[in-house]
Chain A
Amino acid sequence: MTDAAMEHTAAHPRFLAHHFTDIEQQFEAGTLGMWLFLITEIMFFGGLFATYAIYRLMYLSAFEAGSHLLDVKLGAINTAVLIGSSLTMALAVRAGQTGSRKALIVFLILTMLLGGVFLGVKAHEYHHKWETGLVPGFHWGPTEEVHLHPEAALPHVELFFCYYFFMTGLHALHMIIGFGIMAVLVWQAARGRFDGGYYSPIEVSGLYWHFVDIVWIFLFPLLYLIGGRY
């Protein structure tokens, strides 16, 4: 390839990698690649959901008792917060599409803030579980809760809390990673990387963030809302 062919021109802007024909194709390849990664994530979480289903069928009353020890209000608030962060993320991608640097940075930071609120509430819940002795393995021995819910003494409530911590913990880990991705995007946006209509990295980061939201959409009813609260 000659030097002339390596130059960036209007037909071949700086953000178009040389092995792609055009921006369209590059965008398409990036999006498809991200979806393939997300499918491996779906199978990863899917395995957990499948074993959850089996143990819940086996130890139904214990799982329901465990669910009663979770705070529906906090879970619902966190669901709303996470949905809100998905909205700001979608708007950030839109700002990337329209090439508005200021709006992009604002919406990315809002997404990070809402993600931070979610993790804060989660940390508060974890702390409460620790204080009431509901952390399986490390700190198990329900205290006051046992008097409020006698069924919490069932042997397999501890198993429910294994699932609670493993699933919400993995979800929180994904959010922390997403938080890091957002921080990098804000930094790059501030340096003008996305000026001129290039927004592929924002689009695929958005896909990741929305996926994490979807995992929570299923975790919330499966962990917080089972067993009927009537």
Chain B
Amino acid sequence: MSGHVVPVWVYIAIFLALLALTATTVGAAFIDMGPFNTLVAMAIAVVKMLLVVLFFMHLRSSSSLTKVVVAAGFFWLMLLMAFTLTDEFSRYWTETPSGWGAATSAPPSSR
């Protein structure tokens, strides 16, 4: 049968690591790090995701084909995020050409 049997202690260790990271991310939310709060929270979430994907979902011992497919899936997600956000960030860097209408000229803000 495919896939080797992972010792139980590995699963327990990953579980404990995930709990520790959850505690860390909650703790970090109570410390003022300015714009880095979101960054730290996302970095911890990505580490947790990697632990789940590699160990609980057995990607570590999966075939190369499966690994490539999963990597391609995440790459596509990154495309979705990156291009959506670059548009959002850079949209107001230049002035709206005259005649494009007032509706698109002002950045929405309630910050």
Partners in one complex: yes
Q: Are A97 and B1 in contact (CB under 8 A)?
A: yes
Q: Are A214 and B49 in contact (CB under 8 A)?
A: yes
Q: Are A27 and B32 in contact (CB under 8 A)?
A: no
Considering the chains assembled together, what is the distance between the CA atoms of A46 and B18 in angstroms?
22
Considering the chains assembled together, what is the distance between the CA atoms of A54 and B14 in angstroms?
33
Q: A76-B26, A90-B11, A229-B29 are in contact. Are A155 and B84 (CB under 8 A)?
A: no
Chain B residue at smallest Cβ distance from A218: B45
Chain B positions within 8 Å of A36 at CB level: 69
10 cross-chain pairs, A with B, having the tightest CB-CB distances, nearest first: A39-B73, A225-B29, A221-B41, A27-B2, A87-B15, A83-B18, A46-B77, A50-B84, A90-B56, A230-B32
Q: A80-B19, A217-B48, A218-B49 are in contact. Are A50 and B80 (CB under 8 A)?
A: yes
Chain B positions within 8 Å of A84 at CB level: 15
Chain B positions within 8 Å of A72 at CB level: 26, 29
Show 27 residue pairs from A and B whose CB-CB distance is below 8 angstroms, ordered by the A residue: A23-B2, A27-B3, A28-B2, A28-B65, A35-B70, A36-B69, A46-B81, A49-B81, A53-B85, A54-B88, A58-B108, A59-B110, A90-B56, A91-B8, A94-B5, A98-B5, A210-B57, A214-B52, A214-B53, A217-B52, A218-B45, A220-B22, A221-B41, A225-B25, A226-B38, A229-B29, A230-B32
Decide if the interface of chain B is mainly helix, strand, loop or mixed: helix
B55 to chain A, nearest CB (A): 8
Total interface residues on A, CB under 8 Å, equals: 61
